Amino acid sequence: MSLSDLPDLAALDKDGALEEAHAGLTRAGFIVGSAIGGLALWLPSSASAAKIPASDQDVLNYALVLEYLQAAFYTESERAGALKGKAKKAATTVGAVERAHVKAFRDLLGKKAVGKPQFDFQGVTEDQKKFLKTAVAFEDLAVAAYKGQARRLKSKAVLTSALGIHTVEARHAAWMRYLNGNVPATAAFDRPLTRPAINKIVASTNFIVQKKPKTSSRRKPRYTG
């Protein structure tokens, strides 16, 4: 199977990400067959979202908002240029993964995917200490959120994927904790958090802005993820 065998790829691949990914994989010396197989599965369609139970779509959209938040945070931190050494490397790697999560959820949900909120990270992306502290909070929050939502998922395949992301968030949490000088694993059992609890914590940060920031803001306009 080659790329040209895929149905109307260019029409679906508006931002060129699939083509670019394919080129990158080939250059990196991956086994082309399996790479294409992965991409074929990855193709978004409204039919695929329709096969997922509505309640699962709801959970995935909830997770998508948290992934938007994380992806924007790492992307902005990378661009702000205040990170050095291991923190910089971690932000780059983790940011790429969170962006991949966003893309995967959006592709899976198709037209049902919620839009990206606007963010204002209140300057925490411009200072390494604040960055690490916030990263620890975000990653621990994501672990607790996935854990809280997992039991609501009805589709076995969606659940398996969500669990696989849940443990990646836990790895990120431990990594950021290590870099921030915190113990990476503080208890034998991690606690789940409910949606209201998560929402309350996210709201308290004021990172999600509902309206476009006024241009008269005293700060320069920021990258909003």
Among 115, 164, 181, 221, binds another protein (CB under 8 A): 164
Instruction: Show the tokens assigned to 59.
Output: 């959970």
Judged by DSSP in three states, 194 sits in coil
Count of residues that interact with another protein, criterion CB under 8 A? 68
Q: Tell whether residue 85 is a contact of another protein (CB under 8 A).
A: no
Stretch that binds another protein, among 6-14, 39-47, 118-126, 129-137 (CB under 8 A): 39-47
Q: Tell whether residue 25 is a contact of another protein (CB under 8 A).
A: yes
Separation CA 57–CA 29 (nearest Å): 35
Q: Tell whether residue 135 is a contact of another protein (CB under 8 A).
A: no
Q: Are 195 and 148 in contact (CB under 8 A)?
A: yes
Q: Are 98 and 71 in contact (CB under 8 A)?
A: yes
Contacts 24+ apart (CB under 8 A), 41-44: 42/18, 42/104, 42/107, 43/6, 43/9, 43/12, 43/18, 43/107, 44/12, 44/106, 44/107, 44/108, 44/110
Residue (80 or 142) nearer to another protein, CB: 142
The secondary element (H helix, E strand) that includes residue 69 is helix 54-80
Stretch that binds another protein, among 92-100, 117-125, 194-202, 213-221 (CB under 8 A): 92-100
Among 6, 137, 150, 197, binds another protein (CB under 8 A): 150
Q: Tell whether residue 222 is a contact of another protein (CB under 8 A).
A: no
Residue (172 or 222) nearer to another protein, CB: 172
Q: Tell whether residue 14 is a contact of another protein (CB under 8 A).
A: no
Q: Exposure of 98 by Cβ count < 10 A (0-12 exposed, 13-18 middle, 19+ buried)?
A: buried
Q: Tell whether residue 182 is a contact of another protein (CB under 8 A).
A: no
Separation CA 4–CA 191 (nearest Å): 47
Q: Tell whether residue 87 is a contact of another protein (CB under 8 A).
A: no
Interacting residue ranges for another protein, rule: CB under 8 A: 17, 21, 24-25, 28, 35, 37-39, 41-45, 48-49, 51-52, 92-94, 96-97, 99-101, 103-105, 107-108, 143, 147, 150-151, 153-161, 163-175, 178-179, 183-185, 187-192
